[in-house]
Amino acid sequence: MTVDRRTLLAGTAAVVAGAALSRRFFQPPYHSIRRPAHSRVAILRASAYDAKLEEILMQGLRLFGLDLSNRSVLLKPNLVDYIPGDVINTHPLMVTAAVECFQRLGARRVVVAEGPGHQRDTHLLLSESGYAEQLKEQNVLFVDLNRDELKKVKLCSNYTDLGHMWLPRTVLGSDFIVSMPKMKTHHWSGVTLSLKNMFGVVPGAKYGWPKNILHWKGIQHCVVDLCATVPVHFVVADGIVGMEGNGPLNGAARLLGTIVLADDPVAADATCARLMGINPDGVLHIHETAKFLGNSSLEFIEQLAEAVQSPETPFHVVPEFEHLRMHNPTPGSPHLG
Amino acid sequence: MQNPNGSWPAFEGDDREGSWTTSLALWALQGRAVHASVIDRGQRWLLQSKGRESHWLWKWKFRTTDRHVRFDPDKFGWPWMPETNSWVVPTSFSLLALKQWFPPNGASEANFRIELGVQMLLDRVCPGGGWNAGNGVVYGVPLAPHPDATAIALVALVTQTLNPTVQQSLDWLEHAVLTRSAPWSLAWALIALQSHQRSIREPHSRLLQSIEESRIEDAATLAVVALALKSANGQDIFGVRE
C-alpha cells in the first residue's frame, strides 16, 4: 500500500488533533497532587465576640504546634461590604485576636490584607465595619490588595482557561497565609468558606469591582485555580455567628458558636460545611480541591478538639442549592445529602 | 503606554487587551497636544468595547433562564475589562470621555452609545436612588447604594439633572455624606454635588476634616481629593455641559 503526501499530512494532523483533544478530556486539570496524608482540624466553642476570644484562639492554635519564628504572616479576612445589622464580614475582634496570637507564636510580621469585591472605597469599608478602629488600636498594618503592586503568575491548575492571573506582591511574598472566612452560604457557589474567601486576593485595579471575569469563567472553577496557585497554609474560620439563606450579603444571621482552625483549607471547608448541615461533596470547589489539594473525607481529617456535629436544622440556602442540605444527619457523617 | 489595539492598560506591564482606564486616558488627553491617531484609535477601541450582556445569546439567557439579577440587557454600557458585563463606574467614565469628544445631538455611533449608556445607568439605579456596583436588585433584594459609585454616575449624568432618578440620587447622596468620613467617597460626592449645583458645604467641611485626621497613602484617592478641592473652588472638573 502506498500513502501519498496529502494523506500522510491529513493523518498526522488528525493524530495531533486527537492527542490534543484526549489530553484535554483525559488528563486531570491539576498539575500535581499536593494533598497531605492527613489534615488536622480543631473545632472550638466560642459564644461571643469578646475579650475571651484571644485565649480561646491561642489554646486552639497551640494544638497545632506551629513554628512561625521569623516568618511573615498574612491574615486574609472576609471583608466584602457593610450593611448595618448584617453579618457579612469576619468579625474585626476575631481578626485582631488572631493578630495577637500569631505575634505570640513568634511571627516576624503580621499584616491584614483584603481586596474587597464590591466596595471600591476600602477606607470607608474599614471604618464602617469597625476594622479601622481595631487595627489602629493594635497598630496593625492593613494592605488594600485591590491597589497593591502586581505580578503575573501562571495558574497551577486549568479548571478555567485563564492560564495566568495578576496577583498582589504582598500575598506572593508572604511566608504563611491564613484564610479567615465568615461561615456563610452563597447564592452562586453554595457556601463561601476559606477557599472562596481567596477571591479577595484578586486585585480590583486589574479585574474591576466586582471581579466579574471570575463569574464569567465560572466561580467555582476559579476558586480551584486560585487556591491551586496561592497556598493557604492555615484557616481560622469565624462561625460564632454565620450567615444562612441569601448569602454572601443579604442572608440571615445564624448563631453557631464555633471557630474552626485547620492546617488544610479543604479539610476546613469540608468541616465547616458539615457544621452548617451542608454536604461538602456536593459543593463543586470543595469536591474538586479534595482531588489534589486537601482532604474532605472524615477518614483523613484528625479532629484535635470537638467532634463534628451537624445541626438538626441545616443552614438555609437559596433553592438552587437545596440539594446540599443534609436533612436528619447522623453526627459526623458526610454522605447524607 | 497605549496598547496596539488603541486601548490603555490598567497599569504599566499589564496584558495588552485593554482596560477601564482607556476612558480616563481619553478624558485626560482632551485639549492636549497629542497625535490625532492616538485619540482616534482610543475612541475606536472604546466604541467597540461593550458589556457582554449585549450579545443576543446572553440577552436571551438573562431574559429567560437567569432572572436573579434585575436589569434590562438591551441597555448596556462598558465593562471593567473585556469579556465581562457592564458596570456603573466604567460606564460612567466612558460616558464622560465620549461626551467630551463628541458633541450632543449627533447621529454617530458615539451618540448612540452615549444614549444607551445613560439608559443603562438609569436602568441599574437602586430602588431608593443611588447606585451600587452594577444592579439595584439581586435575588429580589434591593441593594444599598455606594456613595462613590453614586457620585461617579451622577457626574456622568450631569446633563440629565432634571431627571427624577437623578434628583432622587442626589438627595440620597446629600444625606449619605452626613455620616461618611472617608476621603475617597467624600471627594467624589463633592464633585458630583457641585456639578449638579447642589450645596457642597457639608462634604467640603467633612473632606477637609478627614484629610487632617487620616494620612492618604494611595495615589488614586490623593488625585480625587485634589480634583474635589479644585471643584470646591468653583472649577468645572469634568467639563461636560449641554
The answer to whether A217 contacts chain B (CB < 8 Å) is no
Residue A248 lies in a domain: yes
How many domains does the structure of chain A reveal?
Answer: 1
Chain center to CA of A223: 8
Taking a C-beta distance cutoff of 8 angstroms, is the pair B20, B27 a contact? no
pLDDT attached to residue A25: 63
pLDDT in tens, A106-116: 999 999 999 99
C-alpha to C-alpha distance for B170 and A238, rounded to whole angstroms: 38
pLDDT in tens, A242-287: 999 999 999 999 999 999 999 999 999 999 999 999 999 999 999 9
C-alpha to C-alpha distance for B190 and B102, rounded to whole angstroms: 26
- Which residues in chain A touch residue B51, judged by CB atoms under 8 angstroms apart? none
- Which residues in chain A touch residue B80, judged by CB atoms under 8 angstroms apart? 207-209, 212
Contact flag A147-B218 (C-beta cutoff 8 Å) = yes
pLDDT attached to residue B217: 83
C-alpha to C-alpha distance for B192 and A109, rounded to whole angstroms: 41
CATH number at residue A74: 3.40.50.11440
pLDDT in tens, A287-324: 999 999 999 999 999 999 999 999 999 999 999 999 99
Residue B226 lies in a domain: yes
How many domains does the structure of chain B reveal?
Answer: 1
pLDDT in tens, A140-167: 999 999 999 999 999 999 999 999 999 9
State whether ipTM is beyond 0.90: yes
The answer to whether B90 contacts chain A (CB < 8 Å) is yes
pLDDT in tens, B74-86: 899 999 999 999 9
Over 80: is that where the pLDDT of B144 sits? yes
Residue A332 lies in a domain: no
> B165: domain range?
153-242
pLDDT in tens, B199-226: 999 999 999 999 998 888 889 999 999 9
SS3 of B205, please? helix
3-class SS letters over A72-90: EEEEEECCCCCCCCCCCCC
C-alpha to C-alpha distance for A31 and A203, rounded to whole angstroms: 24
Q: Which of A120, A216, A246 sits opposite B141 (nearest CB)?
A: A246
Disruptive mutation site among A212, A217, A219, A222 for chain B (greatest number of B CBs within 10 Å):
A212
Residue B166 lies in a domain: yes
Q: Which of B11, B81, B220 sits opposite A150 (nearest CB)?
A: B11
The answer to whether B81 contacts chain A (CB < 8 Å) is yes
Taking a C-beta distance cutoff of 8 angstroms, is the pair A258, A316 a contact? no
C-alpha to C-alpha distance for A227 and A236, rounded to whole angstroms: 16
pLDDT attached to residue B214: 80
> A306: domain range?
40-324
C-alpha to C-alpha distance for A243 and A250, rounded to whole angstroms: 9
Over 60: is that where the pLDDT of A337 sits? no
Min Cα–Cα distance to chain A from B182, Å:
5
Give the helix/strand (H/E) hosting A234: strand A234-244
pLDDT attached to residue A22: 60
Over 90: is that where the pLDDT of A335 sits? no
Residue A191 lies in a domain: yes
Residue B129 lies in a domain: no
Contact flag B221-A207 (C-beta cutoff 8 Å) = no
pLDDT attached to residue A63: 98
Confidence band for B241, pLDDT divided at 50, 70 and 90: low
Residue B18 lies in a domain: no
Taking a C-beta distance cutoff of 8 angstroms, is the pair B204, B231 a contact? no
pLDDT in tens, A88-99: 999 999 999 999
pLDDT in tens, A126-146: 999 999 999 999 999 999 999
Residue A200 CB contacts under 8 Å (≥ 6 apart), including other chains: A76, A78, A79, A80, A114, A115, A116, A117, A145
Residue A161 lies in a domain: yes
Chain center to CA of B210: 24
Residue A330 lies in a domain: no
Q: What is the mean pLDDT of residues B101-126?
A: 92
pLDDT in tens, A202-245: 999 999 999 999 999 999 999 999 999 999 999 999 999 999 99
pLDDT mean across residues, chain B? 93
Taking a C-beta distance cutoff of 8 angstroms, is the pair A169, A111 a contact? no
The answer to whether B70 contacts chain A (CB < 8 Å) is no
Taking a C-beta distance cutoff of 8 angstroms, is the pair A110, A99 a contact? yes
Taking a C-beta distance cutoff of 8 angstroms, is the pair B224, B184 a contact? yes
- Which residues in chain B touch residue A147, judged by CB atoms under 8 angstroms apart? 218, 220
Residue A213 lies in a domain: yes
pLDDT attached to residue A332: 46
Residue A163 lies in a domain: yes
Contact flag A216-B218 (C-beta cutoff 8 Å) = no
Written as one string, the DSSP assignment of A279-334 is -GGGSHHHHHHTTTT---SGGGEEESSSPP---SSPPP--GGGGGGB-SSPPTT-S
Residue B59 lies in a domain: no
Burial class of B31 by CB neighbour count within 10 A (0 to 12, 13 to 18, 19+): exposed
Q: In chain B, positions 144-203, which contact chain A (CB-CB < 8 Å)?
A: 144, 146-149, 180-185
pLDDT in tens, A7-57: 777 777 777 666 665 656 668 899 899 999 999 999 999 999 998 999 999
Over 50: is that where the pLDDT of A336 sits? no
Residue B19 lies in a domain: no
Confidence band for B240, pLDDT divided at 50, 70 and 90: low
Beta strands of A31-149 (E only): which ranges?
39-45, 72-77, 109-114, 141-144
Residue A54 bridge partners (DSSP): none
The answer to whether A169 contacts chain B (CB < 8 Å) is no
Q: In chain A, pLDDT over 90 holds for what percent of residues? A: 86
For residue B122, give the nearest of B91, B82, B100 by alpha carbon. Answer: B91
Residue A22 lies in a domain: no
